[in-house]
Amino acid sequence: MKFVDEATIDIVAGNGGAGCASFRREKFIPFGGPDGGDGGRGGSVYAMADLNLNTLIDYRYARRHEARNGEAGRGSDQFGAAAEDIVLRMPVGTIIRDVETEQIIAELLEPDVKVLLLKGGDGGFGNLHFKTSTNRAPRQKTPGWPGEAKKVKLELRVLADVGLLGQPNAGKSTLITAVSNARPKIADYPFTTLHPNLGVVRVAPEKSFVVADIPGLIEGASEGAGLGHQFLRHLQRTRLLLHVIDLAPFDPEVDPVAEAKAIVAELKKYDQELYDKPRWLVLNKLDMVPAEERAARVKDFVKRYKWKGPVFEISALTREGCQPLIHAIYEHVAAAQYRHVEPDVRFAAPEGGEQGAV
């Protein structure tokens, strides 16, 4: 299935039915009085998050969603029937934004919770509604109220605890394959990953976290180069970023420190809040570095990068060093989740370590 994380659709709520002006006419009842009923309410438009969906592909092709109008009132005290509401099912993590005002209408963060997007129009009043002690034969009636209509933009931001950040071919897809149940495409050329991949990492039977792998970033991504800038939004809900570094690039002239600084600079250009998230360094592909040179290469990288935060040395291909990384991530995510739930954070420990300069 093609991954689609943006779509623009038109949604229209139903109009209310018109009221009826009618009088009771029966044999031997010459002055039966008014009996025109009110119109029915138009259908409303709701949105609901569905755990079984992971893409907005359905809304790429079905661009207009319209609820039915309410029925008109009839004589003999018959009110019009209300129209059925429509429920638009979307993936968890979808943001619904008004195209004209760019305001957020709703964020679908919990499954099976309905959120009202547009209210259907109320039905009009029949002449029965206007009957009083002094106005016994009213001929007034009102039309139904129109339903709301909007053009909205749907934006999917995947819900993941940990996001992988790095250059193409840094080994992010190999890492997510090694530690989770995700099976993304892996190849020895850049831009293998074309859309975000989610994987669930099981630390214990009841302990797990979700990791997201997005297409690699390159220098100039904030101006539209490469693919990663299109999916950086998927990292905005993560609690931790893992900056995966290739310590053994194919081209010996490539400097891993310069590439790492370029990635972080693009991150800062895109979103300051995303740049300020806790970030760890994961030095990958140590299996391609001779054992006697590993310590010196790691020390040289950290020194030149001026990094003072957590550093992990791994080989995603051989899974060397992955288990300590997994346990450290889980402890951080569990602690961050606890601090997020607690209403009083005065006694919470500071999150993450000091981050390096760009």
pLDDT value at residue 346? 33
Closest CA to 274 of 315, 324, 240: 240
| pLDDT block averages, 10 residues each, the chain of length 358 | 74 93 82 86 93 83 92 88 93 89 89 91 89 84 92 85 82 80 54 64 80 67 51 76 84 81 82 83 85 85 86 85 87 70 36 40
pLDDT value at residue 48? 93
- HEC secondary structure over 319-343: CECHHHHHHHHHHHHHHHHHHHHCC
| Structure tokens belonging to residue 231 | 């999916």
* Burial of 30: CB neighbours in 10 Å, binned 0-12, 13-18, 19+: exposed
Helix (H) or strand (E) holding 299: helix 291-305
pLDDT value at residue 98? 92
Domain ranges of the chain: 6-156, 162-341
pLDDT value at residue 120? 93
CATH 2.70.210.12 assigned to domain 6-156? The reply is yes
In terms of CATH, what superfamily is 162-341? P-loop containing nucleotide triphosphate hydrolases (3.40.50.300)
The answer to whether domain 6-156 and domain 162-341 are alike in fold is no
Contacts of 275 (CB under 8 A, 6+ apart): 264, 267, 268
CA–CA dist 34, 130 (Å, integer): 9
